Amino acid sequence: MAISKFFSKIFSAGKAEQEQKTDVQEAPQETAKAPAVPEIDPAQLQLPGEHAVNRLWSLRCQEMPGTPMPRLSLAGLEAGEVAKELPRLNLAVTSTANKRIAKTVPKDLESPVPPMDAQVVVFLPINKLSAWLLVYPPVAGGRELDQEMLRRALSENKVSFGLDEALLEALPEKMDRYFHLYKAAQGTAAVNGTDGAIEDQFSRSFEHTLTVDEYDRVDYTSLNIVQNCEKGDVICRIIAPTKGVPGRTVLNQEIPARDGRAMAPPKGRNTEINEDGTALVATLSGHVEYTSRSFQVKPVLDIPGNVDYSTGNINFLGDVHIHGDICSGFTVRAVGSIYVDGAVEAGTTVEAGGDLMVTKGVVGNNQSVVRAHRSIFAKYLESTHVYAHENLQTDCMVNCEVYCDGSVQVRSGRGIIIGGRTRAAHEVSANVVGAKSECLTSIYLGGLPCEEFERELVQQELEELEAQLEAVERKPNSPNKQSRLSQLRMKLSVSQMKLDQIDKSLEKLMAEREDGKNDLRRLTFGLAYPGTEITIGDCVRRLEQESRQSTASLLSGEICLI
C-alpha cells in the first residue's frame, strides 16, 4: 500500500498535466481528422503502459520534461533472429528495470528518492554476433552517462570486438541516449565454403525424337545423337570447392566455418583429369556418352564409303559410322551404336549394342537381320527380321518380322504396316495397318518379344547340345571323346546361364503385370483394313471390315476398338 501511494504521488503531477492538455484539446479534436496510424516496427519490443521501463521514463520526465519515449528495436537483425531475440530482450529489460524501480523506493514515504547514476545494460543475442546498449537515466541528480560508464559495461560483459567507436563517442551527447537500444558492436559471421561443381560441356542424355515437317516427312539424318569429340577436348569443367572463412563474435571468439566438399569427377573410359584438375578431357577422338554415372569416350570407326569387299565384315568395340551402304552379304557388328547414312541391302546382318539408325532404310528379301540392344530408327523396313530391345520408329514396314520390347511407332511419312508379324511389348501406333488386298497383317501385344524369342533360340541350342552330348557319350572311350565332352559341357553351362538370365527377366515382367504396371498394351491406328489380326495375351481378334481412328485394347477379357 505504501509503494502504491508513493507512485501515485510521483505520477500525479504528470497525470494532471495530461488531463489539462486533454481538456484543452477536446474541442479541436471534434473536427480534426483522425491521425494516421503509425506503422509498427516488427523488430521493436512492445511494452505495456505499466511496464517498469515506462515507469522509469515517467520519473525522468518529472526531472527532464521532453525526454524521448522508450524505443527498443532490434532493427538490423534478420526476421528469424528477431523472433528468437525479442523474448530474451523483454526478459532482460524487465529484470533490470524492475530492479532499478525497486531502488527508487525510499524506506519511508517522507524520505527523498535516493540519487542513482545512469545505468548501462548490455544485451547479447544468442549467436553473440552483436552487442546492444540500453541506458537508464540518472535519478534524483545522479551522474549522467559518460564514456567511462559505457566502456566499463562493455568490459564487464567481455565485449571487445567490432566496437562502433563513433557511436560510443557520440552517445553521451545524444538527445535520445536514454531508453533507446543501440547496436554498439558487430561481429563477423562465419562463411561456409561452397561445394565443388561439375559443368558439363556434353549432354548426359538424349531424347530420340524425330522432327516431322509440314509434308509429314522425317529427316532421319537430323537425329544428332552422335557427340563427336577430338582428343584433348574438354568433356566437363571441374569447379573446385572453396574453403570456409571463420567468423568472430563480439566477445572476440572465433566461429568455425565448414569447407566446401569436392565433387567426384565423372571419369570413365578414355577420359582423364587435366594437370591442374580443372577439367575432364578426352584421351582419344570418338563419341562422348554418359553411362553408369561417368562420361566415357567410345572410339568411332568411320567408314567413308560402303561396307563391301573393300572393307569386309566389321566387328568393332565402339561406335560405327558408315557414310555409304551396307552391301549384300556383309555383316556389321558393334558394341556401341551403328549409324548408316545409306541403305542396308538384302542378305546382311547388322547388330548394334546401342542404337541403330539407317537413313535410307532396309530391303531384306527375307534374308536380312537388323538387331539393336536399344532403339532402331529407319526410313523403311521391307522383308526384314527386326529386333529392338527398346523402341522402333520408321515410316513404313512391309512383310517384316518385328520383335520389339518397347513401342513401335509408324506415324511419320506414309506410316504404313503391311503384312508380316509385328510383336511389341507395349504399343503399336500407325497411320495405316494392312492393305486393300486384305493380306494378313498380324499385331501381337504384350510380353517381352525379344527376350522370348532369344529364349526359344537358347532353348533350341540347349536341346541340340544335349543331343550331341548324348551321342558323344555313346561312343567308345578315347582322348578325342573326352575333349569333345569337355567342350560340350562348357557350352551347355554357358547356354544354361543365358537361359536363367532370360527367365529372370520374364519373371520380373510377370510380377509387374500382377501389380498392374503393364496395362499399356494397345494398337492405335488411323485406318485398319480387313485382314488385320490383333493378339493381346490369349485374346485374338481379326478385323472383318475397315476401321478408322481407333485404339484396340483389352477390356474385360476381350479386344475392343475404342
User: What DSSP string describes 307-351?
Assistant: BSTTT--EEESSEEEESS-B-TT-EEEESS-EEESS-B-TT-EEE
The pLDDT of residue 512 is 66
pTM exceeding 0.85: no
Residues 377 and 462 in one domain: no
CA–CA dist 371, 386 (Å, integer): 6
Domain assignment present for 76? yes
Residues 146 and 231 in one domain: no
CA–CA dist 350, 322 (Å, integer): 12
Residues 270 and 205 in one domain: yes
Domain assignment present for 349? yes
pLDDT band of residue 30 (cuts 50, 70, 90) is: very low
Grid cell of 205 as nine digits: 542424355
* pLDDT of 27 strictly over 80: no
* Domain end point (choices 134, 161, 186): 186
Residues 59 and 182 in one domain: yes
* Domain end point (choices 251, 268, 288): 288
Mean pLDDT, the chain, rounded, equals 86
The residue ranking higher by pLDDT, 240 or 227, is: 240
Number of domains in the chain: 4
CA–CA dist 541, 393 (Å, integer): 25
Question: Which backbone phi and psi does 424 adopt, to 5 degrees?
Answer: -135, 145
Question: Which backbone phi and psi does 5 adopt, to 5 degrees?
Answer: -65, -40
Domain assignment present for 220? yes
* pLDDT of 544 strictly over 80: yes
Spatial CB neighbours of 296, under 8 Å, sequence gap ≥ 6: 268, 269, 270, 271, 288, 289, 290
Residues 501 and 394 in one domain: no
Mean pLDDT of 170-188: 94
Domain assignment present for 319? yes
Domain assignment present for 550? yes
Listed residue (68, 79, 91) closest to 43, CA to CA: 79
The pLDDT of residue 375 is 94
pLDDT band of residue 2 (cuts 50, 70, 90) is: very low
Mean pLDDT of 13-26: 41
* pLDDT of 560 strictly over 50: yes
* pLDDT of 5 strictly over 50: no
Spatial CB neighbours of 188, under 8 Å, sequence gap ≥ 6: 129, 162, 247, 248, 255
Listed residue (551, 555, 562) closest to 429, CA to CA: 551
Domain assignment present for 204? yes
Residues 409 and 525 in one domain: yes
Sign, CA torsion 151/155/159/162: positive
Listed residue (347, 319, 349, 322) closest to 335, CA to CA: 319
The helix (run of H) or strand (run of E) holding residue 19 is helix 2-31
Give the gyration radius of the chain's Cα atoms: 44
The pLDDT of residue 427 is 93
Contact (CB, 8 A) for 531 and 440: yes
CA–CA dist 377, 375 (Å, integer): 7
Contact (CB, 8 A) for 404 and 421: no
Residues 347 and 427 in one domain: yes
Residues 50 and 172 in one domain: yes
For residue 549, count CB atoms less than 10 angstroms from its CB and return exposed for 0-12, middle for 13-18, buried for 19 or more: exposed
CA–CA dist 391, 375 (Å, integer): 5
Residues 221 and 319 in one domain: no
The residue with cell 491406328 is 525
* Domain end point (choices 139, 170, 186): 186
Domain assignment present for 21? no
Domain assignment present for 503? yes
Contact (CB, 8 A) for 116 and 103: yes
Residues 158 and 222 in one domain: no
The boundaries of the domain holding residue 99 are 42-186
